[in-house]
Amino acid sequence: KMQCAAAVVTKKISKGGPIAALRGASTLVVGASSSVGKAIVTRLAFSGQRVIGISEDSPRLRSIEEEMKKVGANVSCIPYQESEERTIEKAVSLTADGITGLVYVPPDNNVTGDIADSTTTEFNTVFAHRLTLPFRVIKASLPHLRKSEDSSIVIVNSSAAYTPFIDLGLFSASSTALLSMARVIALECPVRVNTVVMSTVRGDGSGGVWDKDDDGSSLRAMMPLSRLGSTADVAAAVEFLQSKRARYITGESLILNGGVHLRL
């Protein structure tokens, strides 16, 4: 099935259809091994891009690279270890030459509970993943991205940035901070910087109730579109913001809300 899909995509690219909007571009996807990250890597690769995936999960990263290469996608992956000082910067420096796009997907959230009940270690962990790490990645990538007039940064975030979630205190606070950082960077540099905001997306790694194993029927009943979002929805939004179709959009958030109104 994957080979058939790749054949169809290759045919569309060669004809120069809408899917060719990203052809020839190169994008660095940090956090490529998560469910959302893999969906983004696949979507961008099938749109004709060269994609470089970076993640701490070396085995899953290798699996994604092998899967993509089997269908002819131009995907390469580089593992890193956050515990080793400046390793993420080294990974970026090894791969970022010639890139025109950066996508940051935060690691899955494993810290739940109220902020008042959280430890300092938990606070530092959540903010390191959702604020410090993207800051470091963007800082290391900007010198390369500035070389192109068409470069773009897309940060994947959660709707907790707009409406805090019960039992996800630190996750919610860090999501709002990440949203603000993206807007500030967009003001400071000529590179386009936008955010894809996930609401109730199955497999988003938030630790929210919609990301559990149940069928989500109660949540679907509250959604105007009567369904949960998917990682494919996220990947499609990222692809749009990375493409030339979004060349005059920066400092904005594309909210995958299923019809639920979300605003600060």
- Whether the per-residue pLDDT at 125 is higher than 60: the answer is yes
Q: Quick check: 194 and 249 in contact, CB under 8 A? A: yes
Mutual angle of helices 169-188 and 120-127, in 10-degree steps: 40
- Beta partners for 75? 51
What average pLDDT does range 237-252 have in this prediction?
96
Residue burial 180-190, b: 16+ Cβ < 10 Å; e: rest: ebbbebbeebe
Q: Tell the residue number behind the tokens 């630190």, with chain if given.
A: 170
Name the CA radius of gyration of the chain, rounded: 18
Question: Rounded distance, CA 225 to CA 221, Å?
Answer: 9
Q: Quick check: 194 and 242 in contact, CB under 8 A? A: no
Domains of the chain in start order, with CATH, are 23-256 (3.40.50.720)
More confident residue, 145 or 214: 145
136 CB burial (10 A radius; 0-12, 13-18, 19+): middle
The one-character DSSP state at 166 is T
Q: Quick check: 162 and 220 in contact, CB under 8 A? A: no
- Among residues 10, 63, 34, 18, the alpha carbon closest in space to that of 235 is found at 34
Q: Quick check: 33 and 53 in contact, CB under 8 A? A: yes
Length of the chain measured in residues: 264
Which of the four pLDDT bands, split at 50, 70 and 90, describes residue 149?
confident
- Beta partners for 194? 154
Which of the four pLDDT bands, split at 50, 70 and 90, describes residue 257?
confident
What average pLDDT does range 139-148 have in this prediction?
94
What average pLDDT does range 34-63 have in this prediction?
94
What average pLDDT does range 164-178 have in this prediction?
93
Distances (CA, A) of 215 to 165, 202, 203, 211: 20, 10, 13, 10
- Whether the per-residue pLDDT at 2 is higher than 60: the answer is no
Q: Quick check: 99 and 26 in contact, CB under 8 A? A: yes
Mean pLDDT across the chain: 84
Q: Which of 18-22, 62-66, 213-217 has the highest mean pLDDT?
A: 62-66
What average pLDDT does range 62-85 have in this prediction?
88
Q: Which residues contact 196 (CB under 8 A, 6 or more apart)?
A: 154, 155, 156, 157, 234, 237, 238, 241, 253, 254, 256
- Residue 143, token pair as written in the block: 């010198």
Percent of the chain at pLDDT exceeding 70: 78
- Among residues 161, 94, 157, the alpha carbon closest in space to that of 129 is found at 157
